[in-house]
C-alpha cells in the first residue's frame, strides 16, 4: 500500500465521479466529503490553510483518501471541518487494515504537531482508529462529543407520524392556514434564481438579528461559498431547497441535502414578523412528510442539541472529535488545557 500527499487540489489524480464513488463506498460523510463540497470550500474559505490531501493507493488504484489540511499552528485537520457536520477518512467500509497503514504513514510525517479530527460519527470505526493510532505509536483521545438528533422514519414510522401529528404541531399549521393559502414547495433547478436566493439570505439575516446574533451570510466568503454550493452542477442530485409559502410568500426556507438516504438539516430560516403561527414548526413537519413520501430513512437534524431537535427526534447519534499526539507529554498538556477549559465553562454556566 502506498500513500501520496498532494499540496494542490488540481494535482489530485481523481475525477469528480471517481472521487464521489469512493465517498459512497465509504458509507460516511456523504455530501460533506464530496468533490464539489471540498473544492468549493477550499476556493472560498481555505484562507491560509495548507492542503495536506493524502491519496491511498493499492495495486495501482486509488482506494481511498484522507482530506486533510494544515493550519498555521501546525494542526492537521479535516478540510472544511468548521462547516461540515460529518467527516472522516474515505476508506472502503470494512477495510480496517487501511486505517492502520494510514496512521503509520501520518506518524512518519514531521510537519504536523497535533492531529485534530472533528465530527467523526461514532461507530466501530472510531475504535479501530484508536487502535491504529496506538499501533503507530500515537496517543489518541476523545476531546469532546456532540449529539446529532434524528427522526427515524423507516424503522419507527408509527412513532414518527405520532410526533408529526401532535396537537401543538397541528395547531401551529392551523394558525397559518387561518391566514390564507399554505403550501410547501421544493424548488427545482430552474427555479434557483438570484431573487429566490436573495430572499432566503435576507430572511436568514433578519431572523439571526432578532436573536441578537450574526448570520453567517453576513460573512462575504461564507455567503459566496454557500451560493456556489447552491449553483454547483455536481451537487444537484443532493441539494434540497424548499420553502413554506403563505399566500405565495415564503415564510420559511430550508437549504439542506439528501445524502445516504437521509434528508439533512443544514440552513433553515423563517419569517420573524409573523404574529400568529410558527413557520419553523410547520417547516419541520413538511420536511419530515417529504422524507416519508420519498422513502428516506431519516430527517437528520445533524449536530447540535437545540431544544426543537429534541422535540421532533426519536433517536440520537454521537459525533466525536479526536486529538492525536506524538508524545505523552504533549498529550498531558493538551488534555489538561481542554479539561480545564471545559470545567471553567461548566462553572460559568452553573452561575448563570
pLDDT of residue 235: 95
pLDDT at 273 over 90: no
Segment 106-155, tens digit of pLDDT: 999 999 999 999 999 987 567 788 899 999 999 999 988 999 999 999 88
Give strand ranges (E) for the chain. 2-6, 50-51, 53-58, 61-66, 68-70, 75-78, 90-91, 114-121, 139-152, 182-186, 239-246, 249-259, 262-270, 298-300, 315-325
Within-domain flag for 123: yes
State the Cα–Cα distance between residues 103 and 115, nearest whole angstrom. 11
Same domain, 115 and 160: no
Same domain, 241 and 340: no
Same domain, 9 and 141: yes
State the Cα–Cα distance between residues 76 and 183, nearest whole angstrom. 46
Give strand ranges (E) for 165-208. 182-186
Sign of the CA dihedral with 286 first, then 290, 296, and 302 last? negative
What percentage of the chain reaches a pLDDT higher than 90? 76
Within-domain flag for 310: no
Same domain, 158 and 284: yes
Same domain, 279 and 329: no
Mean pLDDT of the residues in the chain: 92
What's CA 70's distance to the chain center, in Å? 20
Sign of the CA dihedral with 208 first, then 237, 25, and 18 last? negative
Closest C-alpha to 116, from 316, 318, 274, 338: 338
**In sequence order, what are the residues at sequence separation of 6 or more whose Cβ sits closer than 8 angstroms to the Cβ of residue 36?**
16, 229, 232, 233, 234, 235
pLDDT at 93 over 90: no
Same domain, 130 and 247: no
User: How many CB atoms sit inside 10 A of residue 350's CB?
Assistant: 7
pLDDT at 244 over 80: yes
pLDDT at 29 over 90: no
Q: Which residue range(s) make up the domain with 20?
A: 2-145+320-351
What's CA 150's distance to the chain center, in Å? 13
pLDDT at 67 over 80: yes
State the Cα–Cα distance between residues 65 and 26, nearest whole angstrom. 10
Same domain, 214 and 87: no
Within-domain flag for 303: no
Within-domain flag for 314: no
Which triple of cell numbers denotes residue 352? Answer: 448563570
Three-state secondary structure readout of 296-321? CCEEECCCCCCHHHHHHCCEEEEEEE
Segment 172-221, tens digit of pLDDT: 999 999 999 999 999 988 888 899 999 999 999 999 999 999 999 999 99
State the Cα–Cα distance between residues 112 and 50, nearest whole angstrom. 11
User: How many CB atoms sit inside 10 A of residue 291's CB?
Assistant: 23
Give the number of domains in the chain: 2
Per-residue pLDDT band at 351 (split at 50, 70, 90): low
- Region 231-238: mean pLDDT is 94
pLDDT at 102 over 70: yes
Same domain, 113 and 240: no
pLDDT of residue 123: 78
Same domain, 106 and 163: no
Q: Angle, to 10 degrees, between the axis of helix 35-45 and the axis of helix 220-231?
A: 150
Segment 163-183, tens digit of pLDDT: 889 898 999 999 999 999 999
Beta-strand relationship, 139-152 and 114-121 = unpaired
Same domain, 211 and 278: yes
pLDDT of residue 192: 83
Same domain, 93 and 192: no
Q: Give the residue ranges of DSSP H helices in 64-193.
A: 96-107, 124-135, 157-164, 167-177
Same domain, 163 and 141: no
State the Cα–Cα distance between residues 48 and 309, nearest whole angstrom. 35
Element counts in the chain: helices (H) and strands (E): 11, 15
- Distances from the Cα of 134 to the Cα of 97, 179, 201, angstroms: 14, 62, 46
pLDDT of residue 349: 66
CATH code for position 286: 3.40.630.30
pLDDT at 329 over 90: no
Within-domain flag for 188: yes
Which triple of cell numbers denotes residue 63? Answer: 482506494
Within-domain flag for 307: no
Within-domain flag for 332: yes
pLDDT at 348 over 90: no
pLDDT of residue 212: 93
Amino acid at each position: 500500500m502506498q500513500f501520496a500527499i498532494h499540496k494542490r487540489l488540481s494535482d489530485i489524480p481523481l475525477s469528480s465521479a471517481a472521487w464521489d464513488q469512493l465517498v459512497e463506498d465509504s458509507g460516511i460523510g456523504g455530501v460533506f466529503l464530496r468533490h464539489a463540497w471540498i473544492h468549493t470550500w477550499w476556493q472560498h474559505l481555505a484562507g491560509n490553510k495548507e492542503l495536506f490531501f493524502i491519496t491511498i493507493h493499492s495495486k495501482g488504484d486509488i482506494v481511498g483518501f484522507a482530506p486533510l489540511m494544515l493550519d498555521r499552528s501546525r494542526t492537521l485537520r479535516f478540510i472544511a471541518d468548521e462547516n461540515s457536520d460529518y467527516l472522516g477518512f474515505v476508506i472502503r467500509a470494512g477495510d480496517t487494515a487501511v486505517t492502520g497503514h494510514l496512521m503509520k504513514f501520518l506518524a512518519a510525517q514531521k510537519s504536523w504537531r497535533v492531529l485534530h479530527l472533528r465530527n467523526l460519527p461514532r461507530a466501530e470505526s472510531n475504535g479501530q482508529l484508536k487502535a491504529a493510532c496506538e499501533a503507530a505509536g500515537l496517543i489518541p483521545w476523545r476531546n469532546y462529543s456532540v449529539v446529532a438528533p434524528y427522526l427515524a422514519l423507516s424503522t419507527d414510522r408509527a412513532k414518527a407520524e405520532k410526533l408529526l401529528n401532535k396537537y401543538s404541531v397541528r395547531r401551529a399549521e392551523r394558525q397559518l392556514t387561518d391566514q390564507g393559502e399554505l403550501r410547501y414547495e421544493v424548488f427545482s433547478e430552474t427555479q434557483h434564481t438570484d431573487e429566490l436566493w436573495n430572499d432566503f439570505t435576507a430572511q436568514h439575516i433578519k431572523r439571526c438579528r432578532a436573536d441578537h446574533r450574526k448570520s453567517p451570510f453576513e460573512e462575504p466568503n461564507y455567503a459566496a461559498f454557500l451560493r456556489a454550493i447552491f449553483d454547483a452542477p455536481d451537487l444537484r442530485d443532493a441539494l434540497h431547497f424548499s420553502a413554506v409559502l403563505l399566500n405565495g410568500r415564503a415564510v420559511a426556507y430550508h437549504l439542506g441535502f439528501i445524502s445516504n438516504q437521509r434528508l439533512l438539516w443544514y440552513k433553515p430560516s423563517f419569517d420573524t414578523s409573523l404574529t400568529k403561527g410558527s413557520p419553523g414548526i410547520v417547516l419541520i413537519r413538511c420536511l419530515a412528510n417529504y422524507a416519508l413520501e420519498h422513502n428516506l430513512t431519516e430527517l437528520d437534524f445533524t449536530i447540535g442539541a437545540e431544544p426543537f431537535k429534541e422535540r421532533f427526534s426519536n433517536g440520537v447519534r454521537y459525533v466525536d472529535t479526536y486529538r492525536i499526539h506524538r508524545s505523552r507529554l504533549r498529550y498531558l498538556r493538551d488534555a489538561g488545557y481542554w479539561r480545564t477549559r471545559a470545567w471553567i465553562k461548566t462553572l460559568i454556566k452553573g452561575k448563570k
